[in-house]
Amino acid sequence: MSAAERKPSALLGLDAIRDDLAALYRDLHAHPELSFAEHRTAAEVARRAESYGYEVTTGVGRTGVVAVLENGTGPTVLLRADFDGLPVTERTGLPYASVHDGVMHACGHDMHVTCLLGALKLLADARADWSGRIVGVFQPAEEVAKGAQAMVRDGFYARFGVPDVVLGQHVGPLPAGMIGAHPGPAFAATDSLRVRMFGKGAHGSRPESSIDPVVMAAATVMRLQTVVSREISGAETAVVTVGSLQAGTKDNIIPDEAELKINIRSYTPEVRAKVLAAVERIVKGEAVTAGAEREPEITEIDTFPVLDNDADAVARTMAAVGAVIGEDRVFDPGPVTGSEDVGYFATSADREVPLCYWLFGGADPAEVAAAQKAGTFERDIPSNHSPFFAPLIEPTLTTGVTALTVGALAWLGGRPPQ
């Protein structure tokens, strides 16, 4: 039996809504909104979900939306999409590029929202085929690692119940039509730090009267490069990135202070603790070496936990998805060094909830193949957070809607034919 012959009846309605979903995606892409400011997006999500027959609650965790559909007795399946944009100026040249200068859907959250709405519509129209409860979660502020926590702290479980499984997906620079899911630690933990290093300002012509925080910061940046290369085992994984260094206002003025923003990625508590301790030691040590009269300040900007996929949930969900789209289009990508806060919905309840979170491709398969053959994939295929990141609408949209719909049906109770 072919994959097409095993297609659930719920998917038969996809052709009828595909053009509408594509139009919605283009509209969302053109109107991105930053974290906790997703008011237009939330309103459109609520309007559509309500029209599908869901009970909709807005303002959850500030701007989040929750859509619930009760359909007899059975499991509760949580389907999640995030919907905030990024402070990036779009450079794709698309006719539906962002109308807001300096704000862009550079991570694909517009595609996530569109796919989830499509899945909610198909599942609502196929209620005769399943029983249970669907909780559609449209989450704000994923990019600042605050949205999932905000929704949980807003009484999520008391208001909407503890799910039996949490499912979600993220578009990325894989070939469109492909799906990747890794059991176990699948997305890295992240710690973002702000470091202020204090010196003593002076005229640029009299450096001897200063304690130069620019040199102090530069030495710190270089020394931080040794954390992973010299303190972390080759069998472990960690990433330390200094993404921002700011100091001074003029070429002939030595400033009083410098600020660094540091991003750390890890997969285990042991490695995370070791890297954080090394960063603190190096920052403080460079300040002492420079003769700083004030100890540096190190503050947390945000933090994501490790996303830990339940192995059984991955096997069950991906088996169902592969049976429909083709087993050759589902693979294990290994751990991803990106981070995600969807795990809060699975780990914050009073009982363990299995999580299955997967990647789905949004890049042109021919372009990916050509870049891989030439050894230029990293250069030629825009990744998430790039000003050039723009998933193909198709087959990306069809794959994402199909995966969420089939994934949900793999967990919902079945109903015998009437």
Q: Is 29 annotated as a binding residue?
A: no
Q: Quick one: which of 225, 257, 263, 230 has its CA closest to 244?
A: 263
CA distance 167 to 159: 19
Strands 202-203 and 253-254: antiparallel
CA distance 93 to 243: 26
Q: Is 143 annotated as a binding residue?
A: yes
Output the CA–CA distances (angstroms, integers) from residue 157 to 309, 344, 351, in the order listed. Answer: 20, 12, 11
Q: Is 109 annotated as a binding residue?
A: yes
CA distance 67 to 136: 5
Residue 84: partners with Cβ closer than 8 Å, 6 or more residues away = 33, 34, 35, 36, 37, 38, 109, 140, 141, 142, 143, 144, 147
Altogether, the residues listed in the chain come to a count of 418
Q: Is 31 annotated as a binding residue?
A: no
Distance of CA 207 to the CA centre of its chain: 45
> CB burial class (10 A; 0-12, 13-18, 19+) of residue 374?
exposed
Phi and psi at residue 168, to the nearest 5°: -170, 175
Pair of tokens at residue 218: 């530069």
Handedness of CA 151, 302, 346, 112 (dihedral sign): positive
Phi and psi at residue 372, to the nearest 5°: -65, -40
Binding-site residues sit at: 107, 109, 143, 170
Residues at the annotated binding site for Mn(2+)? 107, 109, 143, 170
